[in-house]
Amino acid sequence: MNKIEKTTVCIIGAGPSGTATSIQLSKLKIPHYIIDKSNFPRDKTCGDGLILYAYKAMKILGDDLFASFLKHPKFIHSKKITLHLNNRSKIEFKETDDRDMIISYAKRIDFDQFLVSHLSETYANQHFGSGVKEIRDEAEGVFIKLKNGKEILSKFVVGADGAKSIVASKLANNKIDKKHASTFVSAYFKDVIDLPIGNAAEVRMIYKKMLLFFYVFPLSDGQVNISLGGRADHIKKYGVNLVDEIQNIIKNHKKVKNKFKNATKIGNWRGWSIPFHFGNHKITGERFLLVGDAAGLANAFYKEGIGTGMMSGIIAAKNIERCLNKDGFSEASLKKYDEDLQKEFGRLLKFSHYALRAAKYKGFFLAMAGLLKKKIEQKVHRIIKKRSY
């Protein structure tokens, strides 16, 4: 019979939100476990773009970490994102001359390994390579059993285990919500030509039976990550085959096809889910809280969730310190975490929902975007600076 290992805090999931939680806990000198089903480095399906809160979170976690990120040979950066509303209209989001970037690109196999390499050897007890088989609340804490047989009893659990979180399912009783999630497919390509100058991001709104978003992101190895997706419930409702649609775009779209005329796909098409249900599902309870995708913190409109996930991990760690010092891990004491997330992300994420709803109505959205284009392009750098570095 295995001896049960005891800890005060256990983080389940070592993606960006989990590692950010761990690094911040280590800065606060709080010993903890961090577990993940995979060994690192490991691949992860994603669009590979980093913006806004990813930078802010890394700066908070440490200037040395952020400096290492900027110098990393596998990460590249750009000062511009171009959102193509259609073949004639676009909005350009540009960083000012005195700042480094508005977007960065990093394969998740590299970025996640980068963050894991910064975990503390003193405070972070790392258990990788075996997923959670069982989790339940008991009188003395949360009992966790891994698939390799290891048993852990923790006073508190952080669910950083993504869109299909076992912590969210078993402790919060949350269900997968396709009305508040996007489904995407992506693949890597080589020999893509005529990419925008300065590694600018290319984002296109594609109106078919429903609104789809198409992304072209360049990578440091010369490859390109392309992805396509939209609201999961609409994809199901209209019977959209994302692989067929993205292949049609790169073959026939007049603004895209030339880039891919000699390109070769590397590997298979891969799918993933991006949840944006924050505010609609439970994210705290007795002895647990959720961060990142488990908490549904992705932006509904432009889909990015790594930065908000990392920032939620930092906020979570600070709340864990407060609970350890005086308030305990009751559901009532953890409500402050909900409030802190709402204060940090509430307005931005609420606006993203409004923008996504408005964008469904093509004529209306294009007219409004045309009217507001200059104002958006003039003020965007202030918004970016507030939520960035």
What pLDDT, on a 0 to 100 scale, did the predictor assign at position 1? 52
CB 86 within 8 A of CB 365: no
Looking at the chain, the domain(s) classified CATH 3.30.9.100 span 179-275
What residues are paired with 83 via a beta bridge?
A: 91, 203
- Average the pLDDT over 257-275 and give the result: 96
CB under 8 Å to 37, separation ≥6 — which residues? 129, 130, 131, 132, 147
- Average the pLDDT over 226-240 and give the result: 96
Name the pLDDT band for 237 (thresholds 50, 70, 90). very high
Q: Output the pTM of the full model.
A: 0.95
CB 17 within 8 A of CB 160: yes
pLDDT > 60? residue 143: yes
**Dist CA 101 CA 235 (whole Å):** 33
In CATH, what number does 179-275 get? 3.30.9.100
Q: Is the dihedral of CA 37, 39, 45, 48 positive or negative?
A: positive
**Dist CA 315 CA 308 (whole Å):** 10
What pLDDT, on a 0 to 100 scale, did the predictor assign at position 97? 84
pLDDT in tens, 347-368: 999 999 999 999 989 999 999 9
pLDDT in tens, 308-344: 999 999 999 999 999 999 878 999 999 999 999 999 9
What would the DSSP string read from start to end of 168-205? HHHTS-----GGGEEEEEEEEEES--SPPGGG-EEEEE
Looking at the chain, the domain(s) classified CATH 3.50.50.60 span 5-79+106-177+276-386
CATH architecture of the domain 5-79+106-177+276-386 equals 3-Layer(bba) Sandwich (3.50)
**Dist CA 213 CA 83 (whole Å):** 10
pLDDT in tens, 30-74: 999 999 999 999 999 999 999 999 999 999 999 999 999 999 999
